Structure 1
Amino acid sequence: MMYPFMTLNDETEIVHSDMQNDGRVKVYIERPDEKYGFKHAACWLPDYTWEDIYHFSEEEIKQFEEIIRSTAHLIIEFSQEGGFENASNL
């Protein structure tokens, strides 16, 4: 299951998975794009391994990694609680 985490001003969506049995959490990023449909990429926590990068530049990936690194503690916590809405009792 994937849970919404953050929407950036440019319509980039950041979502995350439940924590896997091996302790990893998948963070998935996508942005609508007129030319490609959607740009997307996935980053695995806690080791910040990137995969499936589709039409994001190296600079964009660096910016996303900064966002993910600054919020990783929250993403990991929420991944164990069923997402932000469950963790915050909304």
Structure 2
Amino acid sequence: MMYPFTTLNDDTEITHSEMKPDGKVKVYIETPDNIGGFHNATCWLPEYKWEDIKGYSETEMSYFKQLIRNNAHLIIEFSQEGGILNAATS
């Protein structure tokens, strides 16, 4: 299951998984493009292992890497609580 984390001004959606038994959390970034498709990237926390990067420039990836690094502690916490919406009501 993937949980919403945030939506950026350009409609980029950032979601995350529940924490896996091995302690990993999948973070998925997806941005609609101008031709009906999507740019996307996946990051695995806590290793910050990036994979399946499609359509993003180096500048965009630099921004996303910093954004995820700055918010990883929150994403990891929310991954253990059923997402931000469940964490907010706990």
Partner of 2:86: 86
Q: For 1:53-79, what per-residue CA distance to the aligned partner results, in whole angstroms no more than 9, with x for missing partners?
A: 111112111100111111111000000
Find the aligned partners of 1:35 and 1:58 in 2 and give their Cα distance. Answer: 21
- Which structure 2 residue ranges, 5 or more long, are not aligned? none
- Which structure 1 residue ranges, 5 or more long, are not aligned? none
Find the aligned partners of 1:27 and 1:62 in 2 and give their Cα distance. Answer: 15
Runs of 4 or more, structure 1, over 2 Å off, are: none
CA RMSD of aligned residues (A): 1.2
Find the aligned partners of 1:14 and 1:31 in 2 and give their Cα distance. Answer: 9
Q: For 1:12-54, what per-residue CA distance to the aligned partner results, in whole angstroms no more than 9, with x for missing partners?
A: 1000000011101000000000236000000000011001111
Find the aligned partners of 1:4 and 1:15 in 2 and give their Cα distance. Answer: 4
What does residue range 43-58 of structure 1 map to in structure 2 within 5 Å?
43-58=43-58
Find the aligned partners of 1:75 and 1:8 in 2 and give their Cα distance. Answer: 16
Find the aligned partners of 2:36 and 2:45 in 1 and give their Cα distance. Answer: 27
Name the amino acid aligned to 2:89: N
Scaled by the length of structure 1, the TM-score of the pair is 0.95
Partner of 2:21: 21
Name the amino acid aligned to 1:39: H
In the alignment of these two chains, the number of paired residues is 90
